[in-house]
Amino acid sequence: MRDAWREVPPTAGLPLRWRDFNPRRKSPSLEESLAAFLEVPSVQLECSGTAALIIALTTLKQTSSRRSVILPAYTCPLVALAVLHCGLTPVLCDLAPGSFDDCAESLERLCNTDVLAIIATHLGGRVCDLDRVTSIAQRHGAFVIEDAAQSLGAVWRGRKAGTIGDIGFFSLAAGKGLTLYEGGALVARDPAVRKALEETSSRIAPYQLLWEWRRALQLIGYRLLYRPGMLRIAYGLPLRRALRKRQFTAAIGDDFTSSIPLHRVGSFRRNIGARAVTRLPAFLDALSMQAAIRRRLLRSIPRIAVIGDAEGTRGTWPFFMVMMPTTEVRDLALNQLWTAGAGVTRLFIHALPDYPYLQAQLGTHHVPNARDFAARMLTISNSPWLLKADFHRICDVLAGVVTVSFANSR
Ligand SMILES: *Cc1c(COP(=O)(O)O)cnc(C)c1O
């Protein structure tokens, strides 16, 4: 029998240390450190990436009679829920073939005088085509909101992704790099917009003691369990239970509800984030180096494609997005790897119109490329805890399923 796989998280989050919890360790505030890291004047902290987006949309809505928001047809379902929460209409843009980025023609076609904002999404550490989306948005008088939830630290032409559009947001949820267990960061280019975002936040996201206690306990739990040896309990067991029942959305945590908490982040968690964020740049550099080596191994496997950086961009590497030749081959690989908890999984299970809990509000859509992306993609963790030997075994499995299916199809 082969050795057991080492359990690793599906994305490379910055591990917390107990000393991050030590109140005597002084550091600049989390907002100051993030602003310096992003090279922006200020950063607004919110209780989640979704809350940050709700605050952005609520603020923009006040200034305009436009009522629809364009978002990619393959993204985090919370983005669609946030748009609906604000009483706005989500308009789904199909992806370009084999890409996470919007299809330019679809985007152009969907734009009209009712479009309040276009959400430009930087998925999985990659950076989308900001030139294209900003020029289309400008032509139609729409705002650009960058969803950099998964791409804190990614770079577009020397500037940080998330800071180029009118408004940008980042997620500080567990599993998204830097974490407060749940949290979000909001930035805006225009000082007047920044001021309006603060006002909206103080109005709709007040301090709530119970939420803060709950999140503080969850963050302590995360510190206890987010480490090799404990992940079997925190991640592996629930994953396998859900997969046994074939509850795929539960397995990857895609089963969101429309009730979205809105509250301020308290100082206990802010201070933990403030101490941890000092390690973020070095951590991201180490991930990039590991990714460069491992991408080379993946590239040697025929008929699969790793989604890389577009020209002029330098992304971060929480995980690899790998396009398999067909859904059947992707699922053959997942049959061997998913339940192992070895860091191979799926990102979002469906294109947005295919989530049962969104169907009623979104209706039917013709988004073939988004569906194809959901059906052929798998992700491989770039966690530093994923052993070299296990990464090689993952590559062997991928090479094996590709070869077998290719031989059978001849
Ligand atoms: C996670 C995620 C969000 C929402 O962020 P939360 O902090 O989980 O609320 C938004 N967009 C994308 C692409 C995400 O991955």
- For the stretch 161-214, pLDDT in tens is 999 999 999 999 998 989 999 999 999 999 999 999 999 999 999 999 999 999
CA-based max dimension of the chain: 67
Q: For tokens 């995360």, what's the residue? A: 222
Query: Whole-angstrom Cα distance, residue 26 to residue 28?
Result: 7
Q: What percent of the chain has pLDDT over 70?
A: 99
- One-letter amino acid for residue 103 of the chain: C
Going from the Cα of 213 to the center of ligand 1, the distance in angstroms, rounded, reads: 22
Atom of ligand 1 nearest to the CA of 172: 7
Going from the Cα of 46 to the center of ligand 1, the distance in angstroms, rounded, reads: 12
263 has pLDDT over 90: yes
Counting Cα atoms < 13 Å in the Cβ hemisphere of 34 gives 28
Are 74 and 348 in contact by the 8 Å Cβ rule? The answer is yes
Measured CA to CA in angstroms, residue 160 lies from 157, 187, 191, 196, 315 at distances of 8, 11, 18, 23, 10
Atom of ligand 1 nearest to the CA of 150: 15
- pLDDT-derived band at 371 (thresholds 50, 70, 90) equals very high
pLDDT at 409: 67
Nearest to 107, CA basis, from 78, 140, 84, 58: 140
216 has pLDDT over 70: yes
Average pLDDT over residues 256-269: 92
pLDDT at 327: 97
Using one digit for the tens of pLDDT, what is the confidence trace for 17-56? 999 999 998 899 999 999 999 999 999 999 999 999 999 9
Average pLDDT over residues 72-87: 98
- One-letter amino acid for residue 283 of the chain: F
pLDDT at 406: 75
Q: What is the arrangement of strands in the sheet containing 68-72, beginning at the earlier edge strand?
A: 44-46, 184-188, 167-171, 143-147, 115-121, 68-72, 89-93
Which residue's alpha carbon is at the smallest distance from atom 6 of ligand 1?
A: 49
Counting Cα atoms < 13 Å in the Cβ hemisphere of 19 gives 8
1 has pLDDT over 70: no
Measured CA to CA in angstroms, residue 300 lies from 206, 307, 395, 397 at distances of 52, 14, 9, 13
Which residue's alpha carbon is at the smallest distance from atom 5 of ligand 1?
A: 49
pLDDT at 5: 86
Are 179 and 12 in contact by the 8 Å Cβ rule? The answer is no
Going from the Cα of 18 to the center of ligand 1, the distance in angstroms, rounded, reads: 26
Atom of ligand 1 nearest to the CA of 48: 7
Measured CA to CA in angstroms, residue 212 lies from 183, 265, 276, 334 at distances of 11, 7, 19, 37
176, 319, 345, 379: which to mutate for ligand 1, most atoms within 8 A of CB? Answer: 176
Mean pLDDT of the chain: 94
Nearest to 161, CA basis, from 120, 198, 196: 120
* Ligand 1, residues at Cβ distance < 6 Å: 48-50, 75-76, 78-79, 121, 147, 149-150, 171, 173, 184
145, 150, 181: which to mutate for ligand 1, most atoms within 8 A of CB? Answer: 150
Backbone dihedral angles phi then psi of residue 152, each to the nearest 5 degrees: -60, 120
Average pLDDT over residues 93-100: 97
| Token pair listed for 324 | 């398999």
Using one digit for the tens of pLDDT, what is the confidence trace for 143-152? 999 999 999 9
Atom of ligand 1 nearest to the CA of 183: 7
DSSP label of 67: -
Lowest mean pLDDT of 162-166, 167-171, 222-226, 275-279, name the range.
222-226
Atom of ligand 1 nearest to the CA of 50: 9
C-beta atoms surrounding 35 within 10 Å: 19
Atom of ligand 1 nearest to the CA of 52: 9
Going from the Cα of 36 to the center of ligand 1, the distance in angstroms, rounded, reads: 22
Are 117 and 70 in contact by the 8 Å Cβ rule? The answer is yes
230 has pLDDT over 90: no
Alpha-carbon Rg for the chain, nearest whole angstrom, is 21
Query: Whole-angstrom Cα distance, residue 44 to residue 173?
Result: 15
Q: State the alpha helices, DSSP H only, in 205-326.
A: 209-225, 231, 237-244, 248-252, 267-276, 280-299
Q: How far apart are the first and last CA of the chain?
A: 32
Per mean pLDDT, which of 6-10, 142-146, 228-232 is the most reliable? 142-146
Are 118 and 145 in contact by the 8 Å Cβ rule? The answer is yes
pLDDT at 320: 98
pLDDT at 410: 60
Are 302 and 324 in contact by the 8 Å Cβ rule? The answer is no
If one compares 340 and 57, the residue with the highest pLDDT of the two is 57
Sign of the CA dihedral 51, 54, 56, 59? Answer: negative
- One-letter amino acid for residue 248 of the chain: F
Average pLDDT over residues 304-314: 97
